[in-house]
Chains A and B, each alone.
Chain A
Amino acid sequence: MSAALELRGVGFNYLSRRGPVSALVGVDLTLAPSEFVCLLGPSGGGKSTLLALAAGLLAPTAGQVFAHGRPVPGPGVERGLVLQKHALFPWRTARGNVEFGPRLKGSSAPERRRCAEELLAAVGLPECADRYPSALSEGQRQRVALARALAGEPEILLMDEPFASLDALTRRQMQELLVAVWTQRRPSVLFVTHDVDEALTLGDRVAVLSACPGRILFTRGVPRPRDAAARLAPETAALRAECLSALGA
């Protein structure tokens, strides 16, 4: 079975004010179907760039990005995206945001409405459908952003530090929600974060990206089950230490 997402020798250069910059060099990363992979990396590294390449929003300057063995031509609903900030369109209601993708596809109005309501219920916001993002809390907005990305029934979910700006309690709730949704729908998830604990809580695998120019330093499987006891297990602690030191903490 081919990988849901594969980055083969991906490199990305761009021109900044100071001259050419290599954001990523020789990145090899594979996501199996329904696999949950957390990408760890220092702030300012190439994490977001990697995600944009995976989504097809940017074209790599070296190497290729494949989805199910075929090269990725550009962005699409099969690779859903959830971002940290400016996630929702402020000029549309929560329902309008979730219906965005289906509307572009040409879904009929009742069909869209049903889908939106179902998804909003799945993320726990059935009563917020007609509210504008400015009237929602941060946590609620990220829920709607997740619902919007899921509306396209994506095979791959790309998430760029989506919970970084939430308070600790809300973050926990969001992590639980994400796991619940993932358990139900089983897309592949590439979850970018700088928080080691979050990575170890959520992911099946953890990949660590070095600082600029970014390359994958190593990937590790995360031991399961992920309960309170496992969290204190020595393997987890060792992995945690390894990740922290790789990040230069």
Chain B
Amino acid sequence: MPSRFAANDPSPSPSESSRALVSLGSAAAALLVWEAAARSGVYPPHLFPPPSAVLRALVLDARSGELASDLAASGRRWSAGLALGSLCGAAAGLLTGAWRPARLAASPLLHFLRVVPFMMLMPLTLLWFGIGEESKILFAAWGAFFPVWLSTETAVFSVEREYVWAARTLGADGLRLWWEVYVPRSLPGTATGVRLAVSTSMFALAAAEMVGSFDGIAYRAFYCYQLFQSEKMMACIAAVGVCGYVADRIFAAAVRRLLPWQEPA
């Protein structure tokens, strides 16, 4: 290969571009199948709109500025909730992972709460916190908390004894030991948890927006559903999917920068 490229050629190697082609190709094929199925008349077009109609609705929304404002409203809540939930989850995970009394006291309760579906908590949340921004951010934080807590707890719990021993013989103890060994060793685990939390916090936020909200992308999707506007509703879903994918890629890149010692996957 090297002989075919100039020294500073920025274009990707053939294997990389053919990989991208395969991914794009399969996505395009799926879209084509969807378009054909929707247009075939087997399903009513208003329950099952073709991607061309969805794309059209998406473009219209974008042009009118409605899409941007909806995404911004949801995005603010989602990022605040994700940050809050991840921090609390990581802190809780560090505590319950390393300190046995904390684990015995808190773990059963947290595991119990973790499996309660978001929709079942909605009425309670509405009752206690109302329908303002705080309640939505709290709900998104709730969604983010559990994956981060669980993955951090597992990571901290499985910090190898050898690292702790080595650090102690080098003079680390107490809080210093924490900071120098437990936290760095469990960061990759926490990062995985945050990656999951990116989507679970969005699920929780969507539930909150659909039940009582003044704006937001999930609110918009529900609104379109109520008015039988299936293409617009699917356009909202598509927008969320794209944003989620982009967020995930950004996050993965950030993790690679911040945790450079990881062996490349």
Contact = CB atoms under 8 A, between A and B. Distances in A.
B94 to A, nearest CB: 16
A104 B172 contact: yes
B181 to A, nearest CB: 7
Interface in A60-92: 74-77, 79-81, 83, 85-87, 89-92
A75 B167 CA distance: 9
Given A57-B165, A81-B165, A89-B163, A100 B170 contact: yes
A101 B166 CA distance: 10
A104 B176 contact: yes
Contacts of B160: 86
A165 interface: no
A148 interface: yes
Contact of B169 (A77, A91, A132, A134): A77
Contact of B166 (A74, A87, A105): A87
Interface residues of B, number: 23
Contacts of A101: 170-171
A105 B173 CA distance: 12
B259 interface: yes
A41 interface: no
Nearest to B264: A134
B31 to A, nearest CB: 40
B261 interface: yes
B171 A77 contact: yes
A80 B171 CA distance: 10
Contact of B261 (A81, A85, A86, A90): A90
A148 B162 contact: no
A80 B169 contact: yes
A234 to B, nearest CB: 40
A149 B170 CA distance: 8
B263 interface: yes
Interface string A98-109: 001100110000
A55 B164 CA distance: 13
Given A89-B184, A134-B261, A134-B263, 6 more contacts: A85-B162, A89-B163, A90-B185, A91-B187, A100-B170, A148-B166
Interface of B: 160, 162-163, 165-173, 176, 180-181, 184-185, 187, 259-263
Interface of A: 52, 55, 57, 74-77, 79-81, 83, 85-87, 89-92, 100-101, 104-105, 132-134, 148-149, 152
